[in-house]
Amino acid sequence: MRLLPLLIGLLASAVSADPFTDWLASERKTAVRKILGAIGSNGSIVAAPTEHTPGQNYYYFWVRDGALVMGEVARLTASFPAGPQKTQFQELLDNYVTFCDKVQTSPQPKDPLFKGLGEPKFFVDGMVFQAAEKWKSPQDDGPALRLLSMLDVLRSGQPKSARIDAIIQRDLGYLTAHVADPNAVDLWEEIRGRHYFNQRMQRQALLEASAHLPGQAQSLQPAIDRLEQELKKHHQGNLIHSSLEDLDRLDSSVLLAALYAQRQGPDTPLLDPDLMATFWKMRQSFQQEYKVNQKVTQDSEGMILEPGLGRYPGDFYDGSEGNPPGHPRPTYANPWFLITAGAAEYCYRLQHLLQAQSIAVDERTRPLLEYAAGHALPGGNLTPKDRGAVAAGLGRLGDAYLRRVRHHAGADGSMSEQFHRETGVMTGATSLTWNYAAILRAIDQRH
């Protein structure tokens, strides 16, 4: 792709004496290169660039993945000064907008199972995915994330256009008509119900659309109010539950929802004490569930590794092989690179937030804050000294999660969907594009 030679000059950084710092600089270049390589000339983004992963084929456009990836492309574009680099990245954004317009308006089968704007998966030519078995839809996070990506495109310096306006209006129509839809499918494309990730992204999209389109703010407010009431229902027992239909499930989609919703506006979902408690319980659970986390605790430099994190405890989806003989379904899933990178991003962002404001130490926040500080903390608001210790510790934890990613990634910086729960070897879809958006977010938050 003609953009790739620009990366050497675009992302060049000084070589340091620290192998980890060197890896961060190299991995950032790799992430951008992999993202650019996944973007087609027509604006589609493949979830993974190969059709030959055993048992899986991710050579399709998912609305969710595409929006998250292009949100990062828009962020990069906004950081460039005027010139050929910015112009060429803006071409990618233009093509993405055109492709989104196509998938929103392409004819669909005369089948009531197909859900229009709620369809999650398309061929790379923009036609809706059809198979003998219907893909699970609707997935209501897709229109929300697509709308947010359109706003990111505009913030990158792209001029307003009738096409972008039309995409936003279609998605607004869908979102206001599908508030807390009990038939919606979750982030992992497995269960139907009322999902925290979907509702959090819907609310964020409507909030930002209201600011972007003040003339429609009043008409959007009832949907926002309803979503805020629905989101409160997910907070039970000092935890945030991913689905109101399965309150026993501890799910990393809650963490991803908070990360992707920490955008424009005054909200700080990452400081939610229930999120801290949920994250800590997740960390502890995956530490025990995946043997690789117990066997490999340090990297080649002797630095501590935080555990690799998966989708949810008891997950069975291994990404490629199916379940071999002797492995019951509930025990064979693996850590995911993008979720482990998300944990790093969470720690870095908490670190930045705590530099500006304090947080109370209580039964929900204490485990994570004391783990970061390395010592016991009194109740109540953190003292300036303790806040400094916690912030520094969160930075170290972020590094420890990225060191875990580095340890299991390829020597060339590539990352499959997952790494094996026992051996640590990469498995699942080869070079998952979403991974590179996740690692780019984490690395840039570190700085």
The answer to whether residue 205 sits within a structural domain is yes
Nearest-angstrom CA–CA distance, 108 and 99? 16
Would you state the pLDDT for residue 21? 96
pLDDT, one tens digit per residue, over 12-33 is 444 457 999 999 999 999 999 9
Residues 292 and 364 grouped into a single domain: yes
DSSP H or E run through 61? strand 61-62
> Does residue 14 sit within a domain?
no
Averaged confidence pLDDT in the chain: 91
pLDDT at 311: 97
Which of 48-62, 268-282, 421-435 is predicted with the least confidence, judged by mean pLDDT?
48-62
Lowest mean pLDDT among 55-69, 93-107, 329-343: 329-343
Query: Using H for helix, E for strand and C for coil, what is the string for 362-429?
Result: CCCCHHHHHHHHCCCCCCEECCHHHHHHHHHHHHHHHHHHHHHHHHHCCCCCCCCCEECCCCCCEECC
Residue 317 within any structural domain of the chain: yes
Query: Are 139 and 228 found together in one domain?
Result: yes
The confidence score (pLDDT) of residue 134 equals: 65
**Within-domain flag for 12:** no
Domain span holding position 344: 266-447
pLDDT for 137 equals 86
Together in a domain, 226 and 291 = no
Residue 339: give its domain's CATH number: 1.50.10.10
Please report, rounded to a whole number, the percentage of residues in the chain having pLDDT higher than 70.
Answer: 90
Do residues 136 and 196 share a domain?
yes
Same structural domain for residues 216 and 290?
no
The predicted pLDDT at position 9 comes to 45
pLDDT at 114: 58
User: How many domains in the chain?
Assistant: 2
pLDDT digits (tens, 9 = 90+) for 193-204: 999 999 999 999
Q: Is the pLDDT of residue 136 over 50?
A: yes
If asked whether residues 223 and 274 sit together in one domain, one would say: no
**Nearest Cα to 224, choosing from 194, 204, 249?**
204
Looking at the predicted structure, is the pLDDT value of residue 324 above 50?
A: no
pLDDT number for residue 12: 44
Q: What is the pLDDT of residue 14?
A: 45
Within-domain flag for 359: yes
Q: What does the pLDDT average to over 409-422? A: 96
Q: Does position 171 have pLDDT exceeding 50, yes or no?
A: yes
Residue 3 lies in a domain: no
Domain membership flag for residue 255: no
Q: Are residues 132 and 219 in the same domain?
A: yes
Same domain (yes/no): 323, 389: yes
272 and 229 share a domain? no
Region 124-151 average pLDDT? 87
Reported as a pLDDT band with limits 50, 70 and 90, residue 5 is: very low
- Taking only the tens place, the pLDDT of each residue in 178-219 is 998 999 999 999 999 999 999 999 999 999 999 999 999 999
Is residue 25 in a domain? no
Domain shared by 223 and 314, yes or no: no
Instruction: Please tell me whether residue 62 adopts helix, strand or coil conformation.
Output: strand
Both 146 and 227 in one domain: the answer is yes
pLDDT beyond 60 at 326? no
Q: Are residue 276 and residue 229 in the same domain, yes or no?
A: no
What pLDDT, on the 0 to 100 scale, is given for residue 8? Answer: 42
- Rounded to a whole number of angstroms, the distance between the first and last alpha carbons of the chain is 28
